[in-house]
């Protein structure tokens, strides 16, 4: 029987230790694991004065404990060995499978009927036909002898089924999410009980890889995951856009812009494209983005309104869909630094006619979007409870809104009861709109809290012929007004706001060379979308949102 030494202070439980006095083990369990029949000596500090510390034979109880420990170390070793064996068997199996897979050559069967190249949108019109589709792998499932690829091409999704050699081939086993493919196959209606997008699947007879996306640490799913930090998602916006929700909102957005153009065309309102680089302000100097324009000070436009006004005598009623820029300091869920502004300007009309026009444009546009074969179903998916706004909207004067807020215990920004002249800030406005639960045309705001160009009401010069359209869940989506048509009164407005009127000569001339009663409004595209698609913030409704601290990618 060998003698083995254990020293908990200086020993080591590793193959380099020998168990000698010079090279002891650290624990008795390890010592017995290495040498089961050994006689163990453990190092003990002496308790008696003058007696040196030394090795003593292990006690019976410590020995019992050590035997148990050694047994569990043995079990652990056996388990690890088994795992290693299994892993290497699996690896061998994988290698064999890959070698087999590499032998498979995928070729197109030229005896098949020629394929019609289609977009996924029209799969339903091509049942039982041989087609070619091209797109990105949205989802991928590979199992024994079968591979399911959900292909996305921006117009829709289709489930593609690969079987036999196609499923077992090396290139199939190495497919990754977001790889681009060209696929040939026959579209089949799904049998009862099976489900896939559009109720059809593509039975693949041949396919080619166009661009293989990375696997492993650079894989798409590693970059974009559910629950990823929003700022990382913003950095990866170009990839996040490929997701089902964001891409759906962008499709609704496209339809919305198309629908609003259709409505304006029906109302004989002409589209114009005013400049974005300007040297005048519209909505207050504090939110202007300044820029150097060949050595002169210029700004990014806050609104195209002033330019639209100048178009009235030339083109009649006009509109534009243009980016507006606001250096908003506040981080709110409904403010962007750049947004798509739908603005219209109409001549020879009354305030009441302006309100009716706004309701018409909103209700008709929304109806067209809901009736659209692409956007309609997407809105159902994104916002199942959406109720189309009914014409006419509820109308409410600012002064009555104050009464409503006070009666409902909603305080102003100072935490006090609302009084005439107070701004109805975002939170209070949203509470009121959400409680009332229907679109509201909020009218007749005080002169002091509205812009310099707004026409005063004839029956009460303290207030203006102004309107905000408020929608449940987002609040204000539209701001508009009748414009001051009298030159002198307009100049007073400039003076009141401390704006030098000189730079506005072209805008003032609109009052000099044949003035007319006129009015207009601006609709925030992203705010309408947030309401329509039930998004928490306008950031989810813009392609590449710009807000404080974010100007990339």
Residues lying near ligand 4AD in the complex (CB under 6 A):
282-283, 303, 305, 326, 328, 335-336, 339, 341, 343, 476-480, 520-522, 524, 526-527, 538
Give the shortest CB-305-to-ligand 4AD separation in angstroms: 4
The answer to whether 40 and 63 have CB atoms below 8 angstroms apart is yes
Q: Minimum distance between the CB of residue 454 and ligand 4AD, rounded to whole angstroms?
A: 9
Extract the tokens encoding 52: 């040196």
8-state DSSP, 327: -
Nearest residue (CB) to ligand 4AD, 355 versus 538: 538
Residue 360: CB minimum distance to ligand 4AD, A: 17
Whichever of 156 and 520 has its CB closer to ligand 4AD, that residue is: 520
Residue 283 CB, nearest approach to ligand 4AD (Å): 5
DSSP string covering 151-191: EE-SS-EEEEEEETHHHHSHHHHT--TT-EEEEEEEEEEPP
User: Which segments of 190-258 are extended strands (E)?
Assistant: 200-211
CB of 528 to ligand 4AD, least distance (A): 8
Q: How far is the CB of 255 from ligand 4AD (least distance, A)?
A: 19
Interhelix angle for 505-512 vs 487-497, to 10°? 150
Residue (465 or 476) nearer to ligand 4AD, CB: 476
Cβ distance 520 to 343 under 8 Å?
yes
- State the Cα–Cα distance between residues 388 and 531, nearest whole angstrom: 11
Of 283 and 465, CB closest to ligand 4AD: 283
Comparing CB distances to ligand 4AD, the nearer of 220 and 531 is 531
User: 147 near 134, Cβ under 8 Å?
Assistant: no
Q: How far apart are CA 7 and CA 22, in angstroms?
A: 10
Name the minimum Å distance from CB 466 to ligand 4AD: 9
Give the CA count within 13 Å in the CB-facing half-sphere of 79. 6
Alpha helices in 291-408 (DSSP H): 305-315, 351-371, 375-382, 398-407
Could you please report the per-residue DSSP string of 133-158? EEEEEEEEEEETTEEEEEEE-SS-EE
* First-to-final CA distance of the chain: 74
Centroid of chain to Cα 412? 32
Write the CB contacts of 352 (distance below 8 Å, at least 6 apart in sequence): none
Give me the least distance between CB of 325 and ligand 4AD, in Å please.
9
Closer to ligand 4AD at the Cβ: 431 or 546? 546
- The least distance separating ligand 4AD from the CB of residue 424, rounded to whole angstroms, comes to 13
Choose between 186 and 340: whose C-beta lies nearer to ligand 4AD. 340
When the beta carbons of 8 and 497 are compared against ligand 4AD, the nearer one is: 497
In the complex with ligand 4AD, which residue's Cβ is closer, 84 or 503? 503
The count of C-alpha atoms lying within 13 angstroms of the C-alpha of 202, restricted to the half-sphere facing its C-beta, is: 32
């Amino acid at each position: 029987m060998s003698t083995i030494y254990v020293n908990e202070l200086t020993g080591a439980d590793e193959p380099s230790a020998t168990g000698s006095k010079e090279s002891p083990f650290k624990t008795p369990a390890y010592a017995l694991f290495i040498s089961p029949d050994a006689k163990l000596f453990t190092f003990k500090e002496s308790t008696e004065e003058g007696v040196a510390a030394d090795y003593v034979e292990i006690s019976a109880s410590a020995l019992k404990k050590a035997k148990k420990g050694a047994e569990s170390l043995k079990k652990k070793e056996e388990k690890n060995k088994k795992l290693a064996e299994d892993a290497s068997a699996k690896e061998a199996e994988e290698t064999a499978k890959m070698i087999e897979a590499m032998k498979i050559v995928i070729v197109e069967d030229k005896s098949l009927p020629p394929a019609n190249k289609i977009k996924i949108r029209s799969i339903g019109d091509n049942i039982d036909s041989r087609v070619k589709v091209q797109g990105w792998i949205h989802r991928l499932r590979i199992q024994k002898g079968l591979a399911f690829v959900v292909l996305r091409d921006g117009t829709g999704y289709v489930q593609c089924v690969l079987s036999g050699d196609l499923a077992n081939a090396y290139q199939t086993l190495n497919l990754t999410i977001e790889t681009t493919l060209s696929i040939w196959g026959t579209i089949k209606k799904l049998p009862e009980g099976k489900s896939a997008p559009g109720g059809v699947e593509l039975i693949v007879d041949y396919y080619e890889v166009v661009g293989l996306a990375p696997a492993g640490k650079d894989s798409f799913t590693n970059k974009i995951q559910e629950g990823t930090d929003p700022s990382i998602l913003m950095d990866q916006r170009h990839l996040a856009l490929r997701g089902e929700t964001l891409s759906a909102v962008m499709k609704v957005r496209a339809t919305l812009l198309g629908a609003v153009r259709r409505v304006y065309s029906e109302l004989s309102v002409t589209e114009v494209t005013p400049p974005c680089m300007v040297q005048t302000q519209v909505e207050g100097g504090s939110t202007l983005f300044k820029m150097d324009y060949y050595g002169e000070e210029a700004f990014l436009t806050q609104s195209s309104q002033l330019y639209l006004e100048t178009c009235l005598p030339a083109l009649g009623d006009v509109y534009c869909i243009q980016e507006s820029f606001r250096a908003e300091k506040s981080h709110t869920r409904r403010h962007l630094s750049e947004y798509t502004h739908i603005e219209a300007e109409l001549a020879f009309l009354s305030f009441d006619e302006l309100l009716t026009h706004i309701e018409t444009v909103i209700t008709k546009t929304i109806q067209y979007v809901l009736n659209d074969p692409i956007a309609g179903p997407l809105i159902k998916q994104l916002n199942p409870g959406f109720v189309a706004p009914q014409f006419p909207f509820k109308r409410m004067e600012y002064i009555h809104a104050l009464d409503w807020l006070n009666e409902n215990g909603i305080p102003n920004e100072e935490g006090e009861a609302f009084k005439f002249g107070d701004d109805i800030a975002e939170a209070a406005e949203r509470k009121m709109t959400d409680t009332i639960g229907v679109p509201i045309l909020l009218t007749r705001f005080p002169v002091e809290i509205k812009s310099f160009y707004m026409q005063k009401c004839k029956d009460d010069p303290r207030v203006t012929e102004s309107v905000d359209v408020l929608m449940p869940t987002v609040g204000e989506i539209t701001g508009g007004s009748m414009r001051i048509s009298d030159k002198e009164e307009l100049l007073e407005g400039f003076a009141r706001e401390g704006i030098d009127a000189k730079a506005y000569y072209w805008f003032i001339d609109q009052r000099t060379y044949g003035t007319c009663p006129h009015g207009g409004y601006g609709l925030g595209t992203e705010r309408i979308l947030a309401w329509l698609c039930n998004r928490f913030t306008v950031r989810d409704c813009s392609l590449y949102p710009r807000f404080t601290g974010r100007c990339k990618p």
